[in-house]
Chains A and B, each alone.
Chain A
């Protein structure tokens, strides 16, 4: 049982990652792709944070009575990665807004059609 429980967390996170990755690859809508990227990155963060957890440990804020703390380093890495994912999402959506104004559509297949015309 502990074998399953030990890796259950990681398997679910991998399924979430693959969901986000699938949206990015399969869906032609540009906004949907950016949302897929956002979900893909958020699930990578959950992988990092579930790596940092110690059984019976608490948040890494030092207090007198407590001794076992979960690992602070992945938390720092993820604080950086969340900001990176926000920057990517903001730029992606800004590009989608400009593409929508330039092409009149935000669907990748329609854009290819317009590109072939001119």
Chain B
């Protein structure tokens, strides 16, 4: 039965993709991109990829759309027509597409259990996780422990993006609260923001520490935490938000998150194990795994939240 939903969602995605190609107005394209990533997030839910759906929605529909719109707000809205007819790109695209379709002919069928993907490493992860790591959410155990080094690389990628945006856009602190003319009429938004702000932060912490048992983890929590502050900045103006979390603190938080992660790894070495070995952190290996996973999720959450806010401040503070 899920095939039907799966096929319909893919159809909708395809229509949205074609619409994005044809649309001239960049604001429309940005909104369609937000819908595109929301649809792909719900497709991930249908395909049982729970953590990925959470991350795709938080990052795709949330942060990326805001960044795209902040950029389009600075540039001309209308997209000029390309000067030369797009024959060469069409040729390149059809050749690449044909190569890929040619490649799918020998692929295992969609969803059949006999595919090599499910035989080798995956069954070991599913079988060993309860014993060795004792965390129900196998994705978190693979993300944080079996392939924990990938996640360290990932945190470094996020840190690089933060440092890059810091280098490119820097930051301008807004002393005065110069808002649009409609400042008086924001009362409704402010009341709701004041009501929801603590709830969102609390929910971010829940997602952070619930990552072992359900969908969640460092990244999703970091993005939700940053979304909470973005809501605060929207309702009460960027100046107040920068007073609540000012920029030097963000730089420190971004750096401290990566250092926490690396420190857990080096701690493994100092206690005589290998790099990123959590078993030696505590006397009992499984508790060591829990401790290790908890600490690195915290480090990841801090860095991601700080970098999201650095990027948001960088883009929005350039507007006026």
**Restricting to A53-75, which residues have a CB under 8 Å from any CB of B?**
53-55, 57-63, 68-75
Are A62's CB and B139's CB within 8 A? no
A86 touching B63 in the complex, CB below 8 Å, given contacts A50-B47, A53-B47: yes
What's the dominant secondary structure at chain B's contact region?
Answer: helix
- Contact partner of B165 among A11, A45, A94, A106, CB < 8 A? A94
Interface of A, secondary structure class, is: helix
B52 near A82: Cβ-Cβ < 8 Å = yes
Let me know if B14 and A9 touch, CB within 8 A. no
Q: List residues of chain A with CB within 8 A of the CB of B107.
A: 7, 10
Least CB distance from B86 to A in Å reads: 4
B82 pairs with A54, CB closer than 8 A: no
Which partner residue on chain B sits nearest A98 by CB separation? B168
Number of residue pairs spanning A and B whose beta carbons lie under 8 angstroms apart: 281
Tell me which of B7, B13, B109, B161 contacts A2 (CB under 8 A).
B109
Q: How far is the CB of A29 from chain B (nearest CB, A)?
A: 5
- Cβ–Cβ contact A72 & B82, under 8 A: no
**Is B118 in contact with A71, judged by CB distance below 8 angstroms?**
yes
Contact present for A79 and B219 (CB under 8 Å): yes
Contact indicator B71/A76 (Cβ below 8 Å): no
From B152-160, B173-181, B287-295, give the one contacting chain A.
Answer: B152-160
- Stretch in B87-95, B239-247, B256-264 with 4+ CB within 8 Å of A: B87-95
Q: Are B101 and A11 in contact (CB under 8 A)?
A: yes
- CA gap between A28 and B139 in the complex, in Å: 40
Q: Kindly list chain B residues whose C-beta atoms are within 8 Å of the C-beta of A79.
A: 51-52, 55, 139, 143, 154, 217, 219
Assess whether A63 is in contact with B136, with CB atoms less than 8 Å apart. yes
A20 to B93 CA separation, bound complex (whole angstroms): 10
Identify the closest chain A residue to B67 (Cβ). Answer: A93
Given contact pairs A7-B104, A35-B68, A94-B314, A82 touches B111 in the complex (Cβ within 8 A): no
Within 8 A of B (CB), among A74-114: 74-80, 82-84, 86-87, 89-91, 93-98, 100-101, 105-107, 109
Contact with B along A17-39 (1 / 0, CB 8 A): 11111110111110110110011
Inter-subunit contact A18/B59 (CB<8 Å): no
Pair A29/B80 contact, Cβ less than 8 Å: yes
Q: Mark B303-320, 1 if CB is under 8 A from A, else 0.
A: 000000001001100100
Does chain A have a CB within 8 A of B252? Answer: no
Are the C-beta atoms of A35 and B30 separated by less than 8 Å? Answer: yes
In the complex the two chains form, is A75's CB within 8 Å of B139's CB?
yes
Seen from chain B, the residues whose Cβ lies within 8 Å of a Cβ on chain A are 3, 6-7, 10-11, 13-14, 17-18, 20-21, 26, 29-30, 33, 36-37, 40, 43-44, 47-52, 55-56, 59-60, 63-64, 67-68, 70-72, 74-76, 79-80, 82-83, 86, 88-90, 92-94, 96-97, 100-101, 104-105, 107, 109-113, 115, 117-118, 121-122, 125-126, 129-130, 136-139, 142-143, 147, 150-151, 153-154, 157-158, 160-161, 164-165, 168-169, 213-215, 217, 219, 311, 314-315, 318
